[in-house]
Amino acid sequence: MAYPKVLANIEKHVSLTENEKNFLLSQFESKEVAKKKYILQAGDNCRYFNFVDKGAFRAYYLSKEGKESTIMFAISDWWITDMHCFINEQPAMLHIQAIEHSSIVRLPKERLDLLFEEIPKFERFFRVIMQNAYTREQLRVLENLSLTAEERYNNFLSKYPQIVAHVTQKQIATYLGITPEFLSAIRAGKGKS
């Protein structure tokens, strides 16, 4: 089956021969996901590295007290999983839920390992994805330590304008680590840092 978006995403970082492309694509599975349905829940076996073909997802952590903290969003042409648990083959710590009707192209862990062996260039692609994710998360931690909530919100809007159309204000608030009410005050120009 052809997955043109996932192939274009991969080829942003590595060039593949026709045989490599065909083998690579044969390792993926597609899945439709209804709005509010989960592709992963905490405690599940985290088996898949997911590419968002269309739609949007949210990965969040749910505390023992029931508080949600959004870890990341993923929209079309982005990858999402509980990376720590995927790499280390551990039960998931995160919930990953469709924000809207979506479709994913997913790669099981055992097939990822096979791709590393059969197409060494794919390991470079995965390394680039990991470097980008690590960099993004490090910058997010630094922003959380050094910026006001209003500055973090404005940075979110400027960095991820394409996400804003898919998510609720409550979901943005849980990503920023503030209450929805405080975000409303910021949006109304009344927020205090």
The domain ranges of the chain are: 4-145, 147-193
Structure tokens at 19: 């045989």
Span 42-81, pLDDT tens digits: 999 999 999 999 999 999 999 999 999 999 999 999 999 9
Span 104-152, pLDDT tens digits: 999 999 999 999 999 999 999 999 999 999 999 999 999 999 999 999 9
Strands across the sheet containing 48-54: 29-33, 102-108, 48-54, 79-80
Helices 149-159, 120-146: inter-axial angle, 10-degree rounding: 150
Residues paired with residue 59 on neighbouring β-strands, in sequence order: 72, 96
The one-letter code for the residue type at 138 is Q
| pTM score, whole prediction | 0.91
HSE, side-chain direction, 13 A CA sphere, residue 30 = 13
Whole-number CA gyration radius for the chain: 18
Looking at the domain covering 4-145, what would its CATH class be?
A: mainly beta
